[in-house]
């Protein structure tokens, strides 16, 4: 039996119905955002008209055509025209199609919104809004998008993916996450974030050799320097704000495209924290993100075993049992269910 999310994804519908019901972690019920696969978001500069159809054929769940930071100021109009043409002409199949519009700090933002909604039909699913600093930024974007959608009689509402990439946005991440019904995902923009915190790096994502600890002195034994993850706090904060509001947390870029092992490590630690997926800034990163953010066969088999053990326990009136010598209880059902549902949704899309 397919879960409701799998059925929804298979039918191609993008309704705002809850995934497997709403989350009941309190008396307050969290409604989940429009369900979409979000393992990998492939970014393509809006100036690269020839590459957009290739991205549309890639294995990424989401294609993001960029009008913001990969586009020079003098190229903004050309990029916008390319993106509008692609939205009208390119076959994106069942992918989620997104456009990263310019931020509210720039007059290019309103023109991106107006022209795309007025001229590009209904194929754009999501606007990625960069540099969100306060909840009113989302309110403003929502108001503008709503007005243009209404004026043209658009049937499908555009969703929002919000990039948290400055200290102000991080400070206000909770209210930003709750600011609009259009919100679907929060993204960690590590490059701008590190600039905003004045971190000592010029890399985009990845570790930092300055960030680590020396193990304690132990006689004359050599001491180890153990690297830490400088982005742990920021990522965790985004995961919590997103999940508490039914949104998908998505990790941002990893700039070293010649280091697939480093990228895989970044994906793994994001998945371990609860991230739904990661950006790819090069096609070579797509397969890695897809693999890491899809539950593996062994993981799914184990999750099904947990569900079976708990079904049996509950038939016997027990709330907790031992499986392979480890405790499983009612919380384990929720953990296992999330893994099985994600695997079903992925299977339904492939
Ligand atoms: C993305 O926009 C970033 O700044 O990392
Ligand atoms: Mg940025």
- Span 290-343, pLDDT tens digits: 999 999 999 999 999 999 999 999 999 999 999 999 999 999 999 999 999 999
Atom of ligand 1 nearest to the CA of 195: 4
Query: In the prediction, which pLDDT does 348 show?
Result: 86
What residue owns the CA closest to ligand 1's atom 2? Answer: 189
CA of 296 to the centre of ligand 1 (A): 29
Atom of ligand 1 nearest to the CA of 100: 2
What residue owns the CA closest to ligand 1's atom 3? Answer: 189
What residue owns the CA closest to ligand 1's atom 1? Answer: 189
CA of 344 to the centre of ligand 2 (A): 33
For ligand 1, which residues put their CB under 6 angstroms from it? 69, 130, 163, 165, 189-192, 252-253
CA of 78 to the centre of ligand 1 (A): 22
Which three-class secondary structure state does DSSP give residue 111? Answer: helix
Alpha carbons 214 and 97: distance in angstroms, whole number? 46
Residues in the chain with pLDDT values less than 70:
1-24, 350
In the chain, DSSP finds a helix count (H) and a strand count (E) of: 13, 14
Alpha carbons 140 and 156: distance in angstroms, whole number? 19
Q: Scanning the structure block, which residue is given the tokens 């206000």? A: 172
Element (H, E) at 188: strand 183-188
Tokens of 325: 């010598």
Contact of 38 with 250, CB cutoff 8 Å: yes
Contact of 128 with 161, CB cutoff 8 Å: yes
Quick one: 173 exposed, middle or buried, by C-beta within 10 A (0-12, 13-18, 19+)? buried
Query: In the prediction, which pLDDT does 22 show?
Result: 63
DSSP 115-172: HHHHHSTT---EEEE----SHHHHHHHHHHHHHHHHHHT-SSPPEEEEEE-SHHHHHT
Q: Tell me how far CA of residue 275 lies from CA of 123, 148, 192, 238, 262, in angstroms.
A: 26, 32, 19, 9, 17
The whole model's pTM is what? Answer: 0.91
């Amino acid at each position: 039996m397919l879960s409701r999310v799998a059925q929804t994804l298979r039918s191609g519908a993008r309704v705002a119905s809850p995934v497997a019901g709403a989350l009941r972690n309190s008396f307050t019920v969290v409604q989940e955002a429009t369900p979409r696969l979000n393992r990998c978001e492939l970014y393509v500069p809006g100036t690269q008209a020839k590459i957009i159809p290739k991205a549309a054929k890639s294995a990424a769940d989401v294609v993001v055509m960029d009008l913001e930071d990969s586009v020079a100021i003098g190229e903004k109009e050309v990029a916008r025209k390319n993106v509008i043409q692609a939205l009208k002409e390119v076959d994106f199949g069942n992918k989620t199609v997104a456009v990263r519009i310019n931020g509210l700090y720039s007059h290019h933002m309103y023109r991106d919104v107006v022209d795309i909604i007025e001229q590009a039909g209904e194929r754009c699913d999501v606007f990625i809004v960069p540099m969100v600093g306060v909840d009113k930024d989302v309110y403003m974007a929502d108001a503008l998008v709503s007005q243009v959608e209404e004026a043209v009689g658009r049937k499908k509402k555009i969703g929002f993916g919000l990039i948290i990439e400055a200290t102000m946005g991080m400070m206000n991440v909770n209210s930003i996450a709750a600011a609009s019904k259009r919100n679907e995902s929060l993204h960690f923009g590590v490059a701008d974030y590190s600039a905003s915190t004045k971190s000592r790096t010029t890399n985009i994502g990845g570790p930092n050799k300055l960030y680590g600890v020396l193990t304690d002195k132990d006689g004359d034994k050599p001491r180890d320097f153990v690297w830490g993850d400088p982005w742990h706090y920021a990522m965790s904060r985004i995961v919590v704000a997103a999940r508490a509001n039914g949104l998908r947390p998505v990790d941002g870029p990893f700039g070293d495209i010649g280091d697939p092992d480093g990228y895989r490590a970044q994906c793994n630690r994001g998945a371990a924290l609860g991230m739904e997926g990661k950006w790819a800034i090069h096609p070579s990163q797509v397969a890695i993100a897809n693999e890491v953010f899809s539950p593996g066969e062994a993981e799914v088999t184990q999750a099904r075993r947990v569900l079976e053990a708990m079904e049996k326990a509950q038939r016997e009136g027990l709330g907790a049992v031992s499986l392979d010598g480890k405790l499983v209880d009612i919380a384990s059902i929720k953990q296992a269910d999330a893994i099985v549902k994600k695997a079903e949704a992925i299977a339904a899309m492939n």
